[in-house]
Every structure is written in C-alpha cells, then in structure tokens.
Structure 1
Amino acid sequence: MSRAPHRISAAERRARLGRRHRLAPSARATTAVEAADAVIGLHATDAATVHLSACARLTHAAITEVERALYEGVSLVRLLSMRHTLFVVSEALAPYVAASTGHAIAAKERRTLVKHLLEDGNGLDEHWLADAESAILAALATHGPSTGSQLSAAVPALRTKITVFRGKKYETVQGVSTRVIRLLAAEGRIRRDRPRGSWTSSQFTWTASSPWPALAAEEARTELARRWLIRYGPATEADLKWWTGWTLGHARKALAAAGAEEVKLDDGVSGYVAPGDTEPEPSVEPWAALLPALDPSAMAWADRGFHLDPEHRAALFDYAGNIGPTVWWNGEIVGGWAQRADGELVWRLLSDPGQDASAAIEAEASRLSAWMGEARVTPRIRTPLERELAA
C-alpha cells in the first residue's frame, strides 16, 4: 500500500524563505555569488534591481561587492534566459541556464532577425549579419569595452535600418544595432560590462566573451530543476513551467529526472520538493525585508497565495502582472515601499503584522537607506502603491 504524500503547510513554506533565500539576518550571505545562488538568479531587466536584491541578502551590504562580482572577477553574469528575461546568475550555474533556456532563445532571436532582414528586400541576409557580427567583435578587440553608440560609430553596418511587418498596419522602420548586439549577447559571444554612470544605470558597455561550454539541454534542465526545487520547493509543475518558460512537457520531464518528491500543499494541490526534503525547516529569528520590484522571492511561483494576500495584488502589481517593491515580515508580503525624490524611503503596510514587525521593518529601511547613500532609484516597474508613495 503506497504511503500518502507528506503535507507541507503554507506556514512551513514561508519559514523556508528566511533561511534558503538568505533573508533572515543570521542566514545572510557573505558574497554576491552566494546571494544570487540562494535564489538561482537575480532578475536583471532593471539594473538597480540586481544590486537591491543582492544587498538585501548580504551581511555587509555594499555595491562594491556586487560590482566586483559582475565586472572584475565576472563570477556573476547576465544571461537572457528564463521567460525570455535577463537574469544575473553565478558563473558556475551559467552553462546550465544557457543550455536549458538561453540557447533556444538565442536560436529563435537569430531566426527572427534573419527573417526580417530577408523581408526587407535590400539584399540583407544571414551573410550580411555574419559580416556585421565579425565587425563588432573586431571593433571590441581594437577599442575595448564600448557602448552601443560607440559600436555603431565604428561599424557602419549597425547604422542600417530595415522595414519590418511590411504591408501590415503595424509596419515600422527599425535600426538593427540593438538587435544584432542583443543577439551576440544571447549567444554568449559578448557580455555587458560596466555601465556608463552609477550602478542604477542601464547604459552598459559591451566587451567580448566566450560561449558557455556545450551541455545537453535535457541534462541542463534537470540540473536547473533540481536547484530550483531546493530553493523554491514545494512548488507545482505550473510554477516551474511559469518560472522557466519551458513547455509543460519539459517541466515534467525535468522534475522526474531530478527525482522530485510529491507532497501535498494546504489547498490539496500536489507540489514537489527535492528528494527527501520534507523535514521542517530549521528555525531562524523573526525577520523583515524590503525587496525591490521583480525580486525572485516574490516572482518565482505562478501561485503566490502562500505568501501574498490576494487582496494586496491590485496595489503591488502593474497591469502586466509584475510585482513592485515589497515589504516582508517572516516570509509574507505585508506592504510596499518607495523612494522619494529627496531620497527618503517610505512604506505602507497593507496588514497589521504587530509592533515587533513594525520595528524590524523600520530598522531594515534604515539599513537600506544607509548603504544606498545618495543614490536615487525609480523602478521600471511602477505599481499603484509605489507611485502613490513616491509622489
């Protein structure tokens, strides 16, 4: 007679976040790489989010620690990967992320760009694209790290414009520069280097790189699923499919190959954990956190009901389903925060977590304000509550 699946409560799921995501003070990381690995990867569409997410998880929050990892040791790298989104992952994990998701995205990007070049009807094709790519790599070898504008000045082909969706009502003229550079980056042949400006800037320079070692896609998906289960389990098939952007079939195969163990969640739905990972989480002290828009701890599940009251969604999410800056208490989202133009950090609690929580949240806000210093951050993801608080 088969044994009934172990049940893991919503409270236990919240308890896992403090230690596994390095959010409780006693569990914080000492390096930016440890902080990134704790959540598999840091969302990187917004340059500031990378630093805010990493420093929230560091014992000694410091922009210099994150920048060293990104631009000196290059132990953290940016990859176009899960959900066709830019993430920062550790150098050790990057080959698995690239093979499981990144390579397929890059191949699709190349097919689409070549299709648009051919449709333009001006003799542009895959051979023209290869020559343009070679010219970019030669320019980087000659001039060193360069912005997109500097590369366009050095490589005339990048100043080419094409007409896309010709004959349709949404026909438009596009420059190819951004698309060609983005494709080289997606394939790992170039990478983003230091931005022009501060850590909040997205005007990156580009430098030459080397593609990641070749791995079988199925092997890579299995490894990524295994690590995801450790950090985010228990979670459902739908959660993994959503987080990765894989097909449901790929998600199911990866879970099976990783030896995922079925458990039952509070609502009776089947979830999965890493093999044998059903014991109660070792306790940590009560903790508060102020996390940025799109932080992985808020975005890694399709169903976030265990740490987010559905009544709070309207205030904390934008129209596209992206979450803004959030305030946490013991694994639960209890409010949102923003930075005003004068640098003041402000927040609003959407539920009453008690006096101890309020004191801890104020202390965490002070810690965040101290390491941010004179920096000003306006998230790309503007949500109703963030806009209201920042006004």
Structure 2
Amino acid sequence: MGGQRRHIGVAERRARLALGHRLAVSARAESPEEVADSLVALHGTDPATVYLAVGARLADAGRTVTEVERALYEDRTLVRMHGMRHTVFVFPTGLAAVVHASTGLAIAAKARAGLVKDMTTGSDGRLTEEWLAEVEASALAALARRGQATVNELTRDEPRLKEHFTYGAGKSYEGPQTVSSRLMRVLGVEGRVVRGRPLGSWTSSQFRWAVAPPHPGLPVGEAQSELLRRWLRVCGPATEADLKWWTGWRVTDVRRSLAAVGAVAVTLDGGVTGYVADGDDGPVAGPAEPWAALLPGLDPTAMGWQERDWYLDPALRSALFDRSGNVGPTVWWDGRVVGGWAQRGSGEVVWRVLDADGVGREARAGISAEVARVGAWLGSTRITPRFRTPLERELGAG
C-alpha cells in the first residue's frame, strides 16, 4: 500500500481482542455457533477446552454444556476435526471444506505415506498397502452402518484393525502400534471421519467416530485465502510469523494469501509490520467497561498468536505454559494475562495474580465475580487440564 502506514498500538490491539474474541461483557455471544464463528476455531485437543472457552464468552454461561452438545451432536452446526498444525479443533461445519483444503490435504498425504511405510516395514511385509485398502474400506462401511462407533466397536466388525506392527524398529522409541490407532487418525486428517459424541461426560477424551459430513472440494489457494481472511478479521493485526505459526503453512503460502485478500499492512510497536483484513484498518475503540475472564488451557485467544508480549508478560510463561508450549488456565484483566487459575478436588475455583501491575481493587472484584460465574456453571463437574502447567498444578493441589 502507498503512503504512510497506520500504527496500531497495544491499547488498540487489546480493544480489538476484547470485542472480536467476545470477552468483554458487552460483546458476549448468545450461542456456541456465534463463539466459534467469531474465533474461527476452538482448540479441541482437550475436550473440556471447547466447553470452557465457549462458557467464558456466552452471555448465559449456564447453558454452555447443553448448547455445545446440541451444536456438536444434534444440529451438527459445529464439527470436531483435524485442522491447522495437525491439531484437533472445533469449527463451524460450514468451514470444514475450507479447513480441509487449506491445511488438511498436505498433512493427510504425509500422514498416509508415514502409515504405509511404518506398517509395511514394521510387519516384515505381512501388512501391505493393498491389505490396508481392504481393511479401510471395510471399517468405513461398518462405521456408516453404525452411525457412530468406538474403535473397539469397529474392531468387532473388522477384526483386522487389531493387527499390530512395530513402530521405529531398532530405535530408542521402538514399540508396537495397532493399525486401528494410526488408521483412524489418518482418516481424520483426510477429512473422511470426525470425532462424535464421547463416552461418558463432556470432559471425556474417549470419543466415538463418525463418517464426516460431505463437503465440496475447493482449490487449495482459494481455501487458504478464505481461512486467512477470516482469521485476520478476528486476530488482526498479526505478523507473518503469527500467521505462519497459526496456519502451519509455508511462508510463501502466507504471503500469497495476504496478497490475494488485499491485507493491509500496518505498523505495530517496535516498528514491526502487521496485517489486518481489507477494510479493517480503521481505529477501534475498546469496550466501555474493563473486563475479566477466566480462560481454559489451550484457549484460542491465549494461543492465538506466536508473538504474545502485547498481552502476556514473558516473565509469566514459565508458570503458565508447559514444556511443550501449551498454555494453561489464565486469568485476564482488561486485555492482558495477569495470572492463572485452577479447580481443586473440592470443586473450588482458585486463582492467583502473577502480574499485579494495574490489578487493584476494581480488577480483583471483577476477577472474583468471574470466578464465581465459572464456579456456578461448573457445579459438581471437576476439570483437570490435559496439559498441566506449574501454576495450575500448584493451585489445584492446595
């Protein structure tokens, strides 16, 4: 773009976050579909994250569980599937084709090639690619008949799914793997199966599988441009590094998509170049009221950018992240992370401020009210994050 670039500072970035991510009280949503559409994707690796992320953003948090289950398993307006960075997310169902074409196809090709190589070499040629094709077709037919099924149920229909092969023969990580565990994951990234209703409660990680709803094939470039455009509407301004990290694409794909959607370059603090969606470069005023939020581990806001210093003091990372870079439960005040929270075995929700700068009486009262709101809708349910962080462990054990 010609002329001088507009500067978007930290205050405005936090204002955009408050409104776009439905975190300010005045911006809260009426349904899980509104939340998912606003955020593009909800992290689904930890099943509880989906519900907690939605609950933090619903005007009526008490409806969280029933409404999310309705959207996922009855109306099918949300779908849990593999997406960016080989990670499980919950997307609006209408976005499934975009996600699959923009990110899933390349991942799927590598995943299938890896399975075939590992299976054939790890079984001394006993299990072949042709054999796998037969088993796969049989398993998908059984799944279609059942509607939804666990892997154990599918192995009763197709016993060959229980076959084992040796993974990493001769390596330090050598070990047995079943065809079923690898095949269902490959079918997932290929967009042919999705996770269905879990066994047990909404916090369970034992999912049934279902045949994926049909969706049209899209050209890769078109799909990448559409996904990037939607994400910039939610998370702009963002840097090339943010976009490359969030999508998992090559930098050439990011740059091509930025050009295709007419992204507008702006400057960020420190002279860094960021991008916003076309038409979204005007000034944004923040919500009238300061706001508090308790966000879960792997929340899409906390994990939304690779470069997070504008909302999270780097000194807090050792307490709030695990060694693999997964964020734990965070406490927010008016656009920045100020601490963390956990739930004890008694059900009590506890929290701690780690960055007290600007966290005075009003902030503590606001956070306390949000703690009470979260505790009320959780009720007797107990939450333990899948990826535990130092502060969450300490608070939860107290």
TM-score in terms of structure 1 length? 0.97
Matched, 1:277 2:277: no
CA distance in 2, matches of 1:250, 1:105: 15
* Residue number among 80, 83, 104 corresponding to 1:81 in the alignment: 83
Query: Which amino acid letter does the alignment assign opposite residue 293 of structure 2?
Result: A
**Residues 1:13 and 2:28 aligned together:** no
The alpha-carbon deviation at position 208 of structure 1 amounts to: 2.2
Distance 1:65 1:210, change over 3 A: closer
Give the Å deviation of 1:154. Answer: 2.3
Q: Find 1:313's aligned residue among 314, 317, 329.
A: 317
Distance in 1 (CA, whole Å) between partners of 2:206 and 2:321 is 26
1:148 match? 151
AA aligned to 2:384 is T
Q: In structure 1, the residue corresponding to 2:160 is in which secondary structure? A: helix
Note if contact 2:86-2:189 (Cα within 8 Å) is conserved in structure 1: no
How has the CA–CA distance of structure 1 residues 310 and 168 changed in structure 2, closer, same or farther, with 3 Å as cutoff? closer
The corresponding residue for 2:393 is 387
Unaligned runs of 5+ in 1: none
2:344 to 340, 343, 351: 340
- Does 2:208 correspond to 1:202? no
Residues 98 and 212, structure 1, Cα contact 8 Å, conserved in 2: no
Please say if 1:296 is aligned against 2:300: yes
Q: Secondary structure of 1:262's match?
A: strand
Counterpart residue number, 2:109: 107
Q: How does 1:66-77 map to 2 (within 5 A)?
A: 66-77=68-79
Letter in 2 for 1:375: T
Compute the RMSD of aligned alpha carbons. Answer: 1.4
Aligned residues of 1:188 and 1:212 also touching (Cα < 8 A): no
Per-residue deviation at 1:249? Answer: 0.9
Deviation at 1:25, TM superposition (A): 1.3
Identity of aligned residues (%): 56
Task: For 2:360, give the aligned amino acid.
Answer: G
Q: Which residues in structure 2 correspond to 1:80-229 (within 5 Å)?
A: 80-119=82-121, 120-229=123-232
Alpha-carbon contact 1:187-1:211 (below 8 Å) kept:
no
TM-score normalized with structure 2 length: 0.95
C-alpha deviation, 1:2, in angstroms: 4.1
SS state at 1:174 partner:
strand
**Counterpart amino acid of residue 299 in structure 1:** M
- In the alignment of these two chains, the number of paired residues is 391
- Give yes or no for contact 2:81–2:195 (8 Å, CA) kept in 1: no
Unaligned runs of 5+ in 2: none
- Provide the residue aligned with 1:56 in structure 2: 56
For 2:353, the equivalent position in structure 1 comes to 349
Deviating more after overlay: 331-340 vs 271-280: 271-280
Aligned residues of 1:307 and 1:333 also touching (Cα < 8 A): yes
Offset at 1:329?
0.8
Q: Which residue of 1 aligns with 2:67?
A: 65
Indicate if the aligned counterparts of 1:48 and 1:200 stay in contact, CA closer than 8 A.
Answer: yes
* Of 344, 357, 375, the match for 2:381: 375
Q: For the residues of structure 2 that align with 1:356 and 1:217, how far apart are their CA atoms?
A: 49
Work out whether 1:26 is the aligned partner of 2:26: yes
Please tell me whether the aligned partners of residues 12 and 285 of structure 2 are also in contact (alpha carbons under 8 angstroms): no
- Greater shift in the superposed pair: 10-19 or 167-176: 167-176
Question: Is the 8 Å Cα contact of residues 325 and 336 (structure 1) preserved in structure 2?
Answer: yes
| Counterpart for residue 291 of structure 2 | 287
230, 243, 248: which one pairs with 1:245? 248
Give, in whole Å, the separation in 1 of the partners of 2:218 and 2:124.
37
Query: In the alignment, does 2:44 pair up with 1:44?
Result: yes
CA-to-partner distance for each residue in 1:86-137, whole Å, 9 max, x for gaps? 1101011111111100122122111111111221223322221111112212
